[in-house]
Amino acid sequence: MATELKDHHFTDAAARELHEAIPIYTADIRGFHDYEETYLQPAPQAAATTETPKPKEILDYREKLLAMLAQEASWPSKLAKDIAKADGMGDTEPKFAVSKALKALQKDGLIGRQMLKLGDREVVLYYRRDPTLSGLHRFMEREVTKKLDVQGIPYTLAKPGEDAPDIMTKDFDIEIETGLKHDIRELERKLTYVTKKIYVVVPSEVEREKYREITNATVVIMQLLNIEATS
């Protein structure tokens, strides 16, 4: 019945006489001759103050990722988790957006990646391409010192700019090599003056092959480094 009502006609479902007869009322719209224009115009205040937020999935995280990778190399799931924590996203991790940004940065030659085995799993480790490769170097150094801590071996880290092995202990020294140097002659020169046993730690088998000609050091993959403390 309601669908058959003419324009501006209406009824009242709460009317007491509804069970006996259906009252039909007519709306007086003479005072609302501009009602269509009023309805179509957006509220000025709402238009000025309301801004539709971008979905987290399409945000561009390239600048943020470059800053993070300059500090330390990392892998996609951890980067997404760190961003979610820093931006207060709770359990919503921008994994798709991070993956998209990483691919764009790698295509532009700003970052590189390295397949790395951590424990019993393999990860794709991303690092920022910069003159010092500090992010990747710092990551490897931290992983090695964690192993030394577990084995109870005291160590000292070389200071920035110091011409000394990266990690020094009482009985041996450790040089961290990312495998990204084009010329290893500087490393060979450095090892010439080392009097203790020295380990050159590289990220994977591919990089270890690059250092096969070094004879006065033991080249070992980071994952396989297992040095027992000397009593």
pLDDT of amino acid 156: 94
Please say whether the beta carbons of 28 and 34 come within 8 A: no
| pLDDT-flagged residues of the chain (< 70) | 1-58, 131-134, 181-183, 228-231
| Nearest-angstrom CA–CA distance, 32 and 126 | 65
Report the amino acid identity of residue 145.
Answer: T
Per the domain annotation, does 34 fall within a domain? yes
Task: Determine how many CB atoms are found less than 10 A away from the CB of residue 226.
Answer: 9
In this prediction, residue 170 carries a pLDDT of 92
Distance CA 190, CA 200 (A): 12
Which residue range(s) make up the domain with 207? 134-231
Position 100 in a domain: no
Distance of alpha carbon 159 from alpha carbon 139, whole angstroms: 16
Residue 117 lies in a domain: no
Phi, psi of 221 (to 5 degrees): -70, 140
Total count of domains within the chain: 2
- The pTM is what? 0.60
User: Minimal CA–CA distance to 190: which of 162, 171, 164?
Assistant: 164
Within a domain: residue 99?
A: no
Structure confidence at residue 42 (pLDDT): 46
- The answer to whether the CB of 105 falls within 8 A of the CB of 111 is yes
Length of the chain: 231
**The residue type at 55:** P
16 falls within a domain:
yes
Q: Strands 197-202 and 172-176: what pairing?
A: parallel
Considering the domain boundaries, does residue 111 fall inside one?
A: no
Structure tokens at 198: 């020295």
